[in-house]
Amino acid sequence: MEPLIPEEASRHRPELNDLALELATASAELTASLPAAVRAPLAGLVRSMNCYYSNLIEGHDTHPIDIERAMRQDFSADPVKRNLQIEAVAHIEVQKWIDEGGLIGHPLEPDTLREIHRRFCDGLPEALLMQKGPDGEEVRIVPGTFREGYAKVGQHVPPSPGAVPRMLAHMHRMYRMQGRIGSVLATACAHHRLVWVHPFTDMNGRVSRMVAHAMLRDTVKSEGLWSASRGLARSVEDYQARLAAADAKRPGGADGRGALSEARLAEFARFFLRSCIDQVSFMSSLMRPADLRGRIIDWAQREEMRGNVIKGSDRVLRAILMEGEVERGAIPDMLGVSDRQARKVTARLLELEALASDSPKAPFRLHFPATLSSAWMPNLFPER
């Protein structure tokens, strides 16, 4: 499985190091530009983004609006759609666990990989745990267990099941040894090598993208504010082709010093890092404070004209965007209305999920629902 990363003397390293530094800088700047009151609800929406795009890569299309319905236990009557909604909920719960500090060890630690796989698969309906084996027989995925049989993915035949634990231990050890810039590059390289090892009977792609998400939180302080999976899904054919190309054997002595091609691994890492940089740039453009505030206030004013929200909604949203949160008792004076009328204004905004609150007496804060994303953050998801 070597090389795990292009070595320092490699002709590929200067460009890859520059891309890694650009990603780390851009991600840190995005995080610093957003107030905490915006970061928290945005991270919740990005979980739906990651879930939607990661599953889309696997051919499972569950729109974020349907994902959010499933989070409220509002499932489709269609059993196929219902199963995909349950799958999406399981995916989001694992990512939420990662985002809230659930990982104790390094994301590539073998025990951590098993725990991510176990948590994801434990939430799946039985129908999604049954897969066709290499000989066409039905094989049940065992949550949190490395595969015990051989596999074939396209033209790639992953290592024998007996080699999987040794290879994962070697990956974990070597990728943890990288410095600040090397660890960013290692995130890209580890994504391919983890897919190449194919440690589980199934769900390897989604687990590998969850691992990449966790590593990016550590290496570039992404805070879950942008989605690598969105970038990969937007160029899914290129993504899959570059994953396959990086499986290639080393053609000669000029291509690194391992058994696999260093040049093909470098090409994949370059693609992965550029996809991430593109997504940071996209989210930065959407989240410019003045532009975001303008889109949200424009939405409130349009909806008021249509009779979908109550007069004063734009002022409530403006105050929350400026201050982060607003106490319930401050709203009547802000709007110059009675307590009862103020409650009508905020009740409608809560119903539309434009606002959120931790309890009936807690302050109001902003919320980013998928149902409003086309108006508030255009092009985040495909239109329904």
| Residue 155 annotated as part of some ligand binding site | yes
Q: Rounded CA gap, 6 and 61, in Å? A: 35
Q: Rounded CA gap, 13 and 6, in Å? A: 6
Contact 145, 82 (CB under 8 A): no
| Residue 154 annotated as part of some ligand binding site | yes
CA nearest 282: which of 225, 355, 340? 225
- Element of type H or E holding 6: none
| Residue 204 annotated as part of some ligand binding site | yes
Q: Give the distance from CA 1 to its chain's centroid.
A: 26
Q: Which residues of 173-192 are buried (b: 16+ CB within 10 A; e: fewer)?
A: ebbeebeebbbbbbbbbbbb
Known catalytic residue: 63? no
Q: Rounded CA gap, 380 and 230, in Å? A: 9
| Residue 203 annotated as part of some ligand binding site | yes
Report cis status (omega within 30 of 0) of the bond before 134. no
Of 191, 198, 213, 367, catalytic: 198
Write the CA distances from 221 to 27, 30, 103, 217, 282, integer angstroms.
7, 10, 15, 5, 17
Q: Rounded CA gap, 295 and 293, in Å? A: 6
- Element of type H or E holding 325: strand 325-326
| Residue 66 annotated as part of some ligand binding site | no
CA nearest 365: which of 316, 320, 305? 320
- Looking at this protein, which amino acid is placed at residue 7? E
What value, to the nearest 5°, has the Cα angle with vertex 291 and ends 27 and 221? 15
Give me the torsion for CA of 157, 159, 162, 164, rounded to 10°. -120
| Residue 316 annotated as part of some ligand binding site | no
| Residue 206 annotated as part of some ligand binding site | yes
Write the CA distances from 254 to 54, 246, 260, integer angstroms.
35, 16, 12
| Residue 280 annotated as part of some ligand binding site | no
| Residue 253 annotated as part of some ligand binding site | no
| Residue 153 annotated as part of some ligand binding site | yes
Residue partners of 378: CB distance under 8 A and separation at least 6: 286, 295
Which residue ranges make up the annotated binding site for ATP? 153-156, 202-209
Q: Residue ranges for the binding site?
A: 153-156, 202-209
Catalytic sites, residue numbers = 198
